Every structure is written in C-alpha cells, then in structure tokens.
C-alpha cells in the first residue's frame, strides 16, 4: 500500500509531507585541501589567503589556526599578529573546484535533490533514498565515509527534517561532526537557540531583534505573525515558522545562475528529468519516518 506521511503543518495550515534533509559542509575546506596536498602543513596553523603583512584577508584557516582566534575574513595582518608562526599560503581554486566536483558526485549517489550553497556545502534531500533502509543518519555516515575515501577530506553533516535545522545541525559538532535533530526534538531545539545562530538571521537583523528583546528562539516564538510583519516585512513568515522548527523550503537541485560548464551536461539533463518527475515520484513514494 502506498502511504504518504502527513506530518508538519505550515503557516497556512496546509499539511505537508515529512522530508529528510542532510546538510553537508566540509571542515576548513581550502585549508584542509592544502594540508592534504602538503603533508608539511598538517597539524600546523595554516592560513589560506593573502600574505601575512598584506592588505589581504584570511579565506580559510586550519582548526590549529583557530585556536589563536583566527577566522575567515579576518585581515591577514591581524592573523599574523595573533599567530606569527602560522604558515600563509595563496588560494588554489582549481584544487578546491576539483575536490568540490568529487564531493558532489558522492551527493548524487544518495540524493534525488542536491542544492549546493558553495563549493564546500550542499543540502541533500534523501526522503526517497532506498539505501540504508532510508535512514538518513546512516546515509550521512556513508556520505562522510565516501568523501573521506575519495578526496581525503573530512565533512561534517547535519541531519533533520528541514533545511533550516539540517544547516544548524551540521555546525553543531564540527569538525568531523554528525548531528541529528529529529522531528520530536526540533521545536524544543529551536527554543534554546541564540538568535544569531539562526540561519537567515544576519548580523543586522540579529541586532534589530535583540533591541526588540528577542535573544533566543523562545523569545521569537512569543511574537505574533502580524507583529513580526510590522517589523520585518516579507521575512516575517520565515521567522514565525522557524521559531516553531518549521521550514518548508524544498531542496532545489538546480540553480539557473550556475555557470555553464560548472556541472556536466549529463548531470544537468538528469537534474531536469528529476525536476519534471518529482510530482510523480512524490505521488508514488513514501518516505520512512525515522530520520
């Protein structure tokens, strides 16, 4: 018998099917590629980006460098002051693109929808994946393992029932993380979350929210939709929903502005075919309930 699981309720009251989403984000991506390719950099504070005393910024830094307070986008001169013994190397985009392509190949083995956010991260919809009995946590483990085998790099993964929570989850346990937020945990998890941790709440909005007394998910949840609309306009519905652990955005497998040649034609044709078949797939398949 074909059964469609109806679980979460949207703002409009419409019932929708429970999804299984994995967000994968590589650890210290550019820096890890450099450490992989240059064994002498391993275990050391490494900064990828500008030269130590230039006006450049840090693109990426190894976890060893982070212990000194260094982070992406920091001026290199400041990074040098914090850690003069750090190794500074220039970016090698070709190497990062090559690793990124391999990672995406792994994603497509397990997901019908893959939405890259950058070279090193993507949302995967695994609601219809048959492997590992459809258990998303096991699928995430397999993805991490295959990425390690095929690129020599470490990924962190977040597993949940929507994009918002999966993205937050992938950051919870870095590096080499695998963090799961189940449908039962989602709403409570959001309550205790600091507002600046909410994906989609940028620094300016976080400042505005704090000025209004909104410091956590619990604070945000006390606001009515109309009050949020008065202060945040079009974004109000998104904030209203995420305060309740609800996010109905679908994983979009193809972005129109992806430059030609960025993805192989073969995969592009496949993406389009899946997009067209999606409604039929949804009618005929039912995701299993365990995340």
280 binds ligand DCP (CB under 6 A): no
33 binds Mg ion (CB under 5 A): no
Provide the 10 A C-beta neighbour count for residue 83.
20
Clarify whether 121 is annotated catalytic: yes
215 binds ligand DCP (CB under 6 A): no
104 binds, options ligand DCP, Mg ion, none, Cβ within 5 to 8 A by partner type: none
120 binds Mg ion (CB under 5 A): yes
User: Total residues contacting ligand DCP (rule CB under 6 A)?
Assistant: 15
223 binds ligand DCP (CB under 6 A): no
Of 64, 115, 120, 146, the one binding ligand DCP (CB under 6 A) is 120
Contacts of 104 (CB under 8 A, 6+ apart): 114, 116, 122, 263
User: Which of 19/167 has CB closer to ligand DCP?
Assistant: 167
* Catalytic option among 115, 121, 146, 248: 121
28 binds ligand DCP (CB under 6 A): yes
Provide the 10 A C-beta neighbour count for residue 192.
10
34 binds, options ligand DCP, Mg ion, none, Cβ within 5 to 8 A by partner type: none
Where in 37-76 is the site for ligand DCP (CB under 6 A)? Answer: 59-60, 72-73
25 binds Mg ion (CB under 5 A): yes
Footprint of ligand DCP (CB under 6 A):
25-30, 59-60, 72-73, 118, 120-121, 174-175
Q: What residues line the site for Mg ion (CB under 5 A)? A: 25-26, 29, 120
């Amino acid at each position: 018998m074909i059964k469609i699981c109806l679980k979460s309720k949207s703002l409009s009251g419409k019932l929708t099917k429970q999804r299984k989403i994995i967000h994968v984000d590589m650890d210290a991506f550019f820096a890890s590629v450099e450490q992989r390719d240059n064994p002498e950099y391993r275990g050391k504070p490494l900064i990828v980006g500008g030269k130590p005393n230039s006006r450049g910024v840090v693109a990426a830094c190894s976890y060893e460098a982070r212990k000194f307070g260094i982070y992406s986008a920091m001026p290199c001169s400041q990074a040098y002051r914090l850690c003069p013994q750090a190794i500074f190397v220039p970016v090698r985009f070709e190497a990062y693109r090559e690793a990124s392509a391999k990672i995406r190949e792994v994603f497509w083995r397990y997901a019908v929808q893959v939405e890259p956010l950058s070279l090193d991260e993507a949302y995967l919809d695994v609601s219809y994946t048959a492997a590992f009995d459809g258990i998303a946590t096991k699928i995430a483990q397999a993805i991490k393992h295959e990425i390690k085998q095929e690129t020599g790099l470490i990924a962190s993964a977040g597993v949940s029932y929507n994009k918002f929570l999966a993205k937050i989850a992938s950051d919870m346990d870095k590096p080499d993380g695998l963090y799961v937020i189940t449908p039962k945990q989602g709403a409570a998890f959001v309550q205790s979350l600091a507002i600046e941790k909410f994906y989609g709440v940028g620094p300016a909005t976080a400042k505005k929210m704090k000025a209004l007394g909104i410091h956590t998910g619990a604070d945000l949840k006390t606001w009515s939709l109309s009050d949020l609309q008065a202060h945040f306009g079009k974004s109000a519905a998104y904030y209203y929903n995420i305060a309740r652990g609800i996010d109905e955005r679908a994983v979009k497998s193809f972005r129109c502005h992806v430059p030609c040649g960025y993805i192989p034609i073969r995969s592009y044709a496949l993406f389009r075919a899946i997009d067209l078949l999606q409604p039929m797939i949804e009618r005929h398949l039912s995701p299993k309930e365990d995340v």
